[in-house]
Structure 1
Amino acid sequence: MTTSTSNRPDSPENHPEVDSNRTHPGKTVDKNVIVVGAGAWGKNLVRNFHDLNALAGVVELNPSLRQQLAEQYPDLPLYANYEDALGTEVPAIVIATPAPSHYPLALAALKAGKDVFVEKPMTLEREQAQELATLADQRGQILMVGHLLLYQPAITWIQDYLNSGQAGALWHVATRRLKLGRVRQQENVWWSFAPHDLAVILALLNQPAIAEVQAHGRTFLQPGIADTVQANLTFATGQTAALHCSWYWPLVERSTVVVTEKQMIVYDEVAQTVTIHHKFVDQALQQCDGGTEVIDIAHSQPLKLECQHFLDCLASRQPPRSDGWQGVAVVDILAQVQQFLS
């Protein structure tokens, strides 16, 4: 899988000039973030950082999208040139561009002295992810990866519940992320869907080292780009995980099943429910069924929570929950599974 971006329009050296009718933002108390990329997902980051009064500008190559932004946010500085944005005093960059461009854009931002939020996957190679995490540490800069599900209140609740010990030892996590979705040409379904679930699995298992990877995938539509992938992971702790992701599936399924010593926990991401099944098998191999319990989780917007967390980290200088090293761990597993798909 290539990571070269020298010929891509979203590579730093290929951005056109800044809109002449826009002024550069200066550093202010509140508006301290420039979002790079306002496409299908980037527009959501633009909206949330704007709602949090933190948006200092947007870099967008597409003239049509820039026009839409100008109409929606009349006073917002807009850039068609990434280097011009890096030259401002705005301290933080949020990268929401196609995955192959994440590494060069994040690297340029860190070298320019900016704190960085980069969408998943952090990079397409482990060495590149490690370079970014190391550089951020060396410079004392914030590097956060957009692992959105870690900011989903249901996942936070499950993590806290598991850490309380009430469920006993955690043995296995299984995830499914399936739908008839938008097929990409620059990344396969594994790199597109799996970062969400890998981040959750690592968080629930308290970031164990990976010991073994097994995987297989199928390509239906485009040569070399897997449309469905199943992976089985074994960790150094002896815990295991299974992932199934597909963008060529008739039903929308997004779920996380946690199997523990005393209970089984099911998070249905579509229905937004968490159910504890008080079921287990005892030492005599007898089934014990204490019924089920549906947990009432307060509704909130995980993307807004994620954006606010980044802003809080900018202020406190504390490492994000999804910091660069968590991004490295996710990319490492992504890359190991990719070897089975090539």
Structure 2
Amino acid sequence: MTHEKLRIAVVGAGYWGPNLARNFSTSPDWDLVAICDLDRDRAERVANQVGQVPVVTSLDELLSSDDLDAIAIATPARTHYPIAMQALAAGKHVVVEKPLADSTSNGQAMVLEAATRGLILMADHTYCYTPAVLKIRELIAAGDLGEILFIDSVRINLGLIQPDVDVFWDLAPHDLSILDFVLPGGLRPTAVAAQGADPLGAGRSCIGYLTLPLESGAIAHIHVNWLSPTKIRQMVIGGTKRTLVWDDLNPQQRLSVYDRGVDLGKQSAGRTDRRDANISYRLGDTWSPALPEREALSTMAAEFAASIRSGQPSRTDGEAGLRVLSVLEAASRSLADSGSAVPPTQGDRQMETAR
């Protein structure tokens, strides 16, 4: 592929579609050529905000165009699978907002269809393209935190209770995609345990806690909540060398790295049990990495274009989306089984075996 601009349409002009349209319209890699939505008035409002691009209400009409390289899907999760499959069958590259699909089986079908046709399927795991999360990934990969021991994530606010999904499927994909992005080898928990509560009688969990033991022996915990009067977006990642705190609502100091922790000294002669080790506490410096200011969606748009041009998967490809889906489905099974720990559906590993 040359470096001429690629042509993309945004499908869905609701909550997320305008953000995608704005970033694709200003990207040096893309020409935004259409906004597609069943509601013409809503689509026209978005189109007018980004230079009065054409409006289409028929997906069939949109995908029949030979002058279209890709689509960005920003519609309800239950529609991701049929829209993506139709677009892939029409030879278009696809980026899909989170979650990739409404089930692991549908996500697998999307990944296989894209691979069969030699097309790029990308999950719009937007947080993975923020400067803060890119820096976290860099620090972990460089070994600056040491061996990861625990991850504690909180994503709570007074939010809109969704009519079709619970709080896990609404908010947890953000945290799960971040963990999949920053952990070496991706997110591969050995089990998933979910506890949820519905104190309002909404018919679905409005408050939730996820516990994920990881293959390395570390443990991750995620708290999501629609009912909190305060908004918190915070993640703590503890390692054997240092601990990192990410506060996404603190623009002056989003990341803090603490050279503090617990050190296990040498065991007594002839003993190998860590319980016999001498314990000491390390109290070192705290520092905050400098971060560039740029919009995550603009970086995502550039990554999508680069992936299409190179033919290489993006860092948040369809298989990353499958790993997140496998945890969400396991969380639903755990909730149905009174919070018991259940194994995740290893969708991405099944895909690797199939290939």
Mark yes or no: TM-score above 0.5.
yes
Distance 1:222 1:76, change over 3 A: farther
CA contact (8 A) 2:33 2:54 kept: yes
Residue of 79, 103, 111 corresponding to 2:81: 103
Residue of 5, 14, 17 corresponding to 1:39: 14
Residue of 302, 306, 330 corresponding to 2:300: 306
CA contact (8 A) 2:11 2:71 kept: yes
Please state how far the C-alpha of 1:259 moved relative to its aligned partner: 0.5
Distance in 2 (CA, whole Å) between partners of 1:312 and 1:341 is 40
Residue of 254, 269, 278 corresponding to 2:259: 278
CA contact (8 A) 1:93 1:109 kept: yes
TM-score by length of 1: 0.88
User: Helix, strand or coil for the counterpart of 1:57?
Assistant: strand
Distance 1:226 1:208, change over 3 A: closer
Equivalent in the alignment of 1:257 = 236
Matched, 1:132 2:73: no
Distance in 2 (CA, whole Å) between partners of 1:105 and 1:221 is 34
Equivalent in the alignment of 2:318 = 324
Amino acid at match of 2:181: A
Please state how far the C-alpha of 1:77 moved relative to its aligned partner: 1.5
CA contact (8 A) 1:32 1:92 kept: yes
User: Helix, strand or coil for the counterpart of 2:316?
Assistant: coil
Equivalent in the alignment of 1:7 = none
Equivalent in the alignment of 2:44 = 67
Please state how far the C-alpha of 1:114 moved relative to its aligned partner: 1.0
CA contact (8 A) 2:176 2:187 kept: no
User: Helix, strand or coil for the counterpart of 1:138?
Assistant: helix
Distance in 1 (CA, whole Å) between partners of 2:187 and 2:205 is 27
Residue of 242, 245, 267 corresponding to 1:266: 245
Residue of 226, 234, 245 corresponding to 2:205: 226
Residue of 35, 50, 58 corresponding to 2:35: 58
Farther off after superposition, 164-173 or 201-210: 201-210
Task: Count matched residues.
Answer: 315
Equivalence map 1:197-216=2 (5 Å): 197-206=175-184, 207-216=186-195
CA contact (8 A) 1:208 1:236 kept: no
What per-residue deviation string (whole Å, max 9, x for no partner) do you get for residues 49-98 of structure 1?
11114211110111321332354355412100111111112010110001
CA contact (8 A) 2:123 2:321 kept: yes
What per-residue deviation string (whole Å, max 9, x for no partner) do you get for residues 277-312 of structure 1?
110111121111003112221111111111121122
Matched, 1:158 2:158: no
Identity %: 30
Equivalent in the alignment of 1:12 = none
Detail structure 1 runs of 4+ shifted over 4 Å in the superposition.
Answer: none
Distance in 1 (CA, whole Å) between partners of 2:187 and 2:137 is 15
Equivalent in the alignment of 1:291 = 285
TM-score by length of 2: 0.85
Distance in 2 (CA, whole Å) between partners of 1:307 and 1:73 is 16
Distance in 2 (CA, whole Å) between partners of 1:278 and 1:251 is 29
Distance in 1 (CA, whole Å) between partners of 2:101 and 2:53 is 29
